[in-house]
């Protein structure tokens, strides 16, 4: 099968293209589509066979559950059992947008979505292509559109790289806005807990619902693996965001990083650097730059560390998990 890439306007999605994509979804096929965070690889959330196919083409571990993307709140009521007050407040404030919440699931949600857990992750994206596609087909299961372990797909080319010939269609609305995956908050236990930091920060959330917990793996990891931590969010224990090049996380200024690059080049390495000029841009471009450096067969990528607050917490979480070495000056 040859994978088609079709351009679609995110402000005003062409209904004919949406129909074509939703027909594929209804037939149990996979469609990659843009969201404001990263591209998603979508399938009908009520079609176990189609969901299995997502896991197969992504090579995704079968214990890593996926997010259900919805169009409106009537869909939410069919997916989750009850919605705690605090979850309602966050929904009111941040949906549609880059926030995923985890709640107890209803029986009709297939085990293939949740990997057998009794909870389900749900989010309402703000990208209009995503919303129209869901509206015209069904709630969509959609992990990030990348091979498991690789940097997430933040443009159609990246998605094509990973899935050419494996899926029928990629909807291309250009580069994503945010570039990092959504914030994930679980309401399964009494006290809400942040499982994955994203563009909606812990501070923004606490302003609405008061103090929340933060999963230890987010702050305490120096480097990639969280082997000893209990995986509340199963995705956390898997290798993630890794380009082929070795990633060095550098707590250093621009001059020091350039110096380091010089040294490494002397040892015959092809070295790329990613500096923090503007944190939003850094986040937005991180995954596509990693992929670009891989394409150019770089050996090493040096990423500049940033302060871990606001979007910085989300960015550093990805950088720590992608890197295999840390340098400090």
The contact set with Mg ion (CB under 5 A) reads 144
Instruction: For residues 252 and 6, give the distance between their C-alpha atoms in angstroms, rounded to a whole number.
Output: 42
Q: Is 217 within 8 Å of 114 (Cβ atoms)?
A: no
Nearer to Mg ion, 256 or 285 (CB): 285
Instruction: For residues 113 and 97, give the distance between their C-alpha atoms in angstroms, rounded to a whole number.
Output: 21
How would you class 191 by CB atoms within 10 Å of its CB: exposed for 0-12, middle for 13-18, buried for 19 or more?
Answer: exposed
State the DSSP code for 54. Answer: H
Q: Which helix (H) or strand (E) holds 5?
A: strand 4-7
Query: Any contact of residue 35 with ligand TXA (CB under 6 A)?
Result: yes
Query: Any contact of residue 234 with ligand TXA (CB under 6 A)?
Result: yes
State the DSSP code for 246. Answer: E
Binding letters toward ligand TXA, positions 96-115, x by CB under 6 A: ----x-x-----------x-
Query: Any contact of residue 233 with ligand TXA (CB under 6 A)?
Result: yes
Task: Pick from 96, 192, 235, 272 the residue near ligand TXA by CB under 6 A.
Answer: 235
Q: Which helix (H) or strand (E) holds 125?
A: none
Instruction: For residues 188 and 233, give the distance between their C-alpha atoms in angstroms, rounded to a whole number.
Output: 11
Instruction: Give the range of 10-18, 142-150, 166-174, 278-286 binding ligand TXA by CB under 6 A.
Output: 142-150
Nearer to ligand TXA, 176 or 301 (CB): 176
Task: Pick from 75, 86, 138, 182 the residue near ligand TXA by CB under 6 A.
Answer: 182
Q: Which does 65 bind (CB under 5 to 8 A by kind): Mg ion, ligand TXA, none?
A: ligand TXA
Binding letters toward ligand TXA, positions 187-226, x by CB under 6 A: --------xx------------------------------
Instruction: For residues 173 and 218, give the distance between their C-alpha atoms in angstroms, rounded to a whole number.
Output: 31
Nearer to ligand TXA, 317 or 323 (CB): 317
Q: Is 245 within 8 Å of 299 (Cβ atoms)?
A: yes
Q: Is 107 within 8 Å of 87 (Cβ atoms)?
A: no
Nearer to Mg ion, 101 or 209 (CB): 101
Q: Which does 284 bind (CB under 5 to 8 A by kind): ligand TXA, Mg ion, none?
A: none
Q: Residue 148: left (phi > 0), alpha (psi -120 to 50), or beta? A: beta
Query: Any contact of residue 43 with ligand TXA (CB under 6 A)?
Result: no
Instruction: For residues 231 and 215, give the distance between their C-alpha atoms in angstroms, rounded to a whole number.
Output: 9
Instruction: Give the range of 156-164, 177-185, 244-252, 271-279 binding ligand TXA by CB under 6 A.
Output: 177-185
Instruction: Give the range of 6-14, 44-52, 117-125, 162-170 binding ligand TXA by CB under 6 A.
Output: 117-125
- Give the pair of three-digit tokens for residue 179: 């570039």
State the DSSP code for 223. Answer: S
Q: Which helix (H) or strand (E) holds 267?
A: none
Q: Which residue is nearest to ligand TXA (CB)?
A: 235
Query: Which positions touch ligand TXA (CB under 6 A)?
Result: 35, 37-38, 40, 64-67, 100, 102, 114, 117, 119-121, 123, 125, 142-144, 181-182, 184, 186, 195-196, 233-235
């Amino acid at each position: 099968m040859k994978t088609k890439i079709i351009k679609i306007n995110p402000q005003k999605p062409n209904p004919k293209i949406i129909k074509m994509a939703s027909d594929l979804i209804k037939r149990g096929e996979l469609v990659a589509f843009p969201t404001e965070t990263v591209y998603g690889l979508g399938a009908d959330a009520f079609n176990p066979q189609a969901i299995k196919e997502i896991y197969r083409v992504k090579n995704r571990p079968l214990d890593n559950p996926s997010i259900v993307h919805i169009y409106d709140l009537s869909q939410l009521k069919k997916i989750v059992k009850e919605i705690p007050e605090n979850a309602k407040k966050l929904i009111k404030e941040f949906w549609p947008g880059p926030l995923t919440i985890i709640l107890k699931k209803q029986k009709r949600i297939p085990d293939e979505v949740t990997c057998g857990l009794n909870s389900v992750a749900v989010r309402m994206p703000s990208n209009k292509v995503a919303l129209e596609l869901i509206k015209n087909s069904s709630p969509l299961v959609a992990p990030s559109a990348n091979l498991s372990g690789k940097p997430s797909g933040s443009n159609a080319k990246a998605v094509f790289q990973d899935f050419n010939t494996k899926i029928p269609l990629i909807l291309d609305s250009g580069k994503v806005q945010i570039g990092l995956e959504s914030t994930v908050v679980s309401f399964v236990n009494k006290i809400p807990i942040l499982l994955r930091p994203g563009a909606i920060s812990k501070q923004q959330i606490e302003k609405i619902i008061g103090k929340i917990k933060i999963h230890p793996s987010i702050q305490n990891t120096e480097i990639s693996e969280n082997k000893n931590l209990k995986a509340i969010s199963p995705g956390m224990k898997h290798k993630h965001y890794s380009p082929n090049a070795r990633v060095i996380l550098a707590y250093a200024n621009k001059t020091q990083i350039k110096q380091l690059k010089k040294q490494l080049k002397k040892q015959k390495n092809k070295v790329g650097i990613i500096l923090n000029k503007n944190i939003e841009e850094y986040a937005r471009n991180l995954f596509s730059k990693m992929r670009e450096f891989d394409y150019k067969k770089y050996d090493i990528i040096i990423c500049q560390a940033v302060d871990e607050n606001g979007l910085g917490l989300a960015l550093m979480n990805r950088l720590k998990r992608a890197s295999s070495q840390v340098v400090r000056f």
